[in-house]
Homo-oligomer: A and B are copies of this chain.
Amino acid sequence: MPMAEVTVIPLGVGPSVGRFVAECLRLVRRSGLRYRLTPTSTVIEGSLDEIFAVVREIHEVPFSLGAPRVVTVVKIDDRRDKPEDMDYKIRSVEERLGDADADAA
């Protein structure tokens, strides 16, 4: 399943952007898509159509709250030769690290 890491950066509204991020996240939740909030982004999992629709929607949030300019950064990771999801990706790296640390012991 494709996943997208999204950061919406409002300009011209002061350095604190938490209220914009919270409103974006509310829309992500309403979309019903699986997501994970990270310290710097929101990672969303879904079909490409679903992802593009929600990115399009949250890019509008700061404008609707008064921002004159928005920079939105999106990184889409789309793998089609085998199934994958957000949990799997993290778990597979952690498992490798566990093995490696054991080897190093």
State the A residues within 8 Å of B (CB): 3, 5, 7, 9, 11-12, 14-15, 17-19, 21-23, 25-26, 29, 36-41, 43, 45, 48, 52, 55-56, 59, 63, 67-81, 86-87, 89-90, 92-94, 96-97, 100
Chain A binding surface, main DSSP class: mixed
Tell me whether A74 and B71 are in contact (CB under 8 A): no
Query: A68 vs B15: C-alpha distance in the bound complex, in angstroms?
Result: 7
Our pick among B11, B21, B70 for the contact of A93 (Cβ within 8 Å) is B21
Tell me whether B81 and A39 are in contact (CB under 8 A): no
B residues near A75, Cβ cutoff 8 Å: 7, 40-41, 71-74
Our pick among B9, B26, B36 for the contact of A71 (Cβ within 8 Å) is B9
